[in-house]
Amino acid sequence: MSDLDPSIIERSTEKMHIWLKELAAELGVSDRRYAYRALRAVLHTLRDRLTVESAAAFASELPTMIRGIYYEDWNPSRTPLPMRDVEEFLDHVATEGRLGGRTEASLAVAAVSALLKRHIASGEIDDVIAVLPERLKKLIAS
């Protein structure tokens, strides 16, 4: 089946539902809207911290619909944003996802990281982590 087959949309939608269900379970909630906000916030914050090349390489590993969410509102000319410490990264996640602060953002980052590790090739995750500052590496790798 080629990528030109319209059934790719159905498969991508199915994958999106699977990811959101898994993420909601990882977060300990039943609200998929919340899971979506958390996923989007973490993906956008990570994307904005990566170089354009690293962001594009990582995106190529994501399912089609999730890749669309990842690229939504992206301005590559502003990246990478200079987030050097964990607090700044978590503040960005919290703001982007309308989460209740750093603790909630930290839980979202951990849950999304676990989800990505289950669905993305470990080599690609390692490549993304490698370009992050040391303090952020620990946050994403945990």
Residue with tokens 């040391």: 134
Q: What is the mean pLDDT of residues 4-15?
A: 82
Say whether pLDDT at 86 is over 70. Answer: yes
Give the model confidence (pLDDT) of 50-67 as tens digits: 999 999 999 998 999 999
Tokens (6 digits) for 83: 């987030």
Mean pLDDT of 29-50: 95
Structural domains in the chain plus CATH codes = 8-141 (1.10.490.110)
Does 2 have pLDDT greater than 60? Answer: no
One-letter amino acid for residue 126 of the chain? D
Q: What is the mean pLDDT of residues 30-36?
A: 95
How far, in Å, CA of 55 to CA of 81, rounded?
A: 12
Cβ count within 10 A of residue 124: 15
CA nearest neighbour of 70 among 81, 78, 62: 62
**What are 124-142's pLDDT values in tens digits?**
788 888 888 788 888 887 6
